Structure 1
Amino acid sequence: MGGDRKSYTLGEVSQHNHRHDCWLVIGGKVYDVTKFLEDHPGGDEVLLSATGKDATEDFEDIGHSTTAKAMLDEFYVGDMDSSSIPTKFKYKPPKQPHYNQDKTAEFIIRTLQFLVPLIILGVAVGIRFYTKSK
C-alpha cells in the first residue's frame, strides 16, 4: 500500500482476514500484519482471530513490550474510521428454560426409587455375612 494512507471502515478492514492478507485494528490505526504472521511469537492463529474487530483490547491484554509496539509502525497502512466501529452493545444472556420446581420432586423420587432397593440389598448382604460368621 506504499504511500496510500487513508481512513478505512471496519467493513473494508474485515475483508483482509486470511493468511495471505491479514489486517488488524489497534488503537484506531490499521495494520497490515500479513508479512509478520510467520514471525509472531504467539502464532498466526492469534492474529487471524483478531481480524474483523477492534483488536486493541486483545493487543493490550497480552502485555506487548515497547519493542513490539514500536514494530507496529512498519505495518501501518492507515487510520480507522471510528464511526464504522459498532458501539459496545449490552449483553443479552441467552434465553433459558424456566426453572420448574416440580421437576425437583420428580428427580428426588426417581433417585429414591433407585437407592432404596440398593440400600435394602446392602443391608440384606450385611446381615447374611454377619449371621454366617457366627
Structure 2
Amino acid sequence: MSGNTKYSFSEVKKHNDNKSAWVVINNNVYDVTPFLNEHPGGEEVLLEQAGRDASDPFEDVGHSSDARELMVKYKVGEIIDSERKPVKEKHSDWSSGSENANSENTLKSWIIPIALGIVATIIYRFYFLSY
C-alpha cells in the first residue's frame, strides 16, 4: 500500500475492527492496526474511531510532535478529492485572551498565601506574645 493511494470514506468504513483498523486524520488515511497494542491510550481509543474520520478527537487530545511524526509510517493513503473535508488549521495562540487570566491566577497563587501568612503572624504575635 502506497501513501499516495486514494480511498473513499466507504472503503475506510470497512476497516473498523482489531483485524484491520483504519482512521482518517486531516484527509489522510492511516492503518493503525499494528499500533493498537502500542497506543498509550489503549487500543479501545483507536478502535472507537476505526473506520471513521478521527480528525477532531485526534486534535482535541493534543498529540505531541513525536506522535505526529510516528503517524507517518502508518499512512496508507488519502481521501479522494470529492470527499475531502476542510482541514482545521492547528492554531496554538498562547497569548490570546488567556494571558490576562493567567497573570491574575499567578498573582493570586502567591498573594493569597503571603497575605494569609502575614495575618497568621499578626494573630500569633498579638495573642501569644502578649501574655
* Range of TM-score over shorter length: 0.5 to 0.7
Trace 1:25-104 onto structure 2 (pairs within 5 A).
Answer: 25-84=24-83
**Other-structure match for 2:7:** 8
**Other-structure match for 2:23:** 24
Question: Which blocks of at least 5 consecutive residues in structure 1 are unaligned?
Answer: 88-134
Q: Quick one: structure 1 residues 39 and 5, their matched pair in 2 at CA, closer, same or farther if it must change by over 3 Å?
A: same
**Other-structure match for 2:98:** none
Counting aligned pairs with the same residue, the percent is: 43
Q: Quick one: structure 1 residues 4 and 40, their matched pair in 2 at CA, closer, same or farther if it must change by over 3 Å?
A: closer
Assess if the C-alpha contact under 8 Å between 2:30 and 2:71 holds in 1: yes
Q: Quick one: structure 1 residues 86 and 74, their matched pair in 2 at CA, closer, same or farther if it must change by over 3 Å?
A: closer
Assess if the C-alpha contact under 8 Å between 1:25 and 1:31 holds in 2: yes
> Distance between the aligned counterparts of 2:39 and 2:54, measured in 1?
15
- How far does residue 4 in structure 1 lie from its aligned partner after superposition? 6.8
Where 2:53 maps in the other structure, the secondary structure is coil
Aligned residue-pair number: 86
Where 1:31 maps in the other structure, the secondary structure is strand
Runs (4 or more) in structure 1 with deviation over 6 Å come to none
Assess if the C-alpha contact under 8 Å between 1:54 and 1:85 holds in 2: no
For the pair shown, which has the larger CA radius of gyration, 1 or 2?
A: 1
Question: Which blocks of at least 5 consecutive residues in structure 2 are unaligned?
Answer: 87-131
> Distance between the aligned counterparts of 2:59 and 2:19, measured in 1?
25
TM-score calculated relative to the size of structure 2: 0.60
> Distance between the aligned counterparts of 2:33 and 2:45, measured in 1?
13
> Distance between the aligned counterparts of 2:19 and 2:4, measured in 1?
20
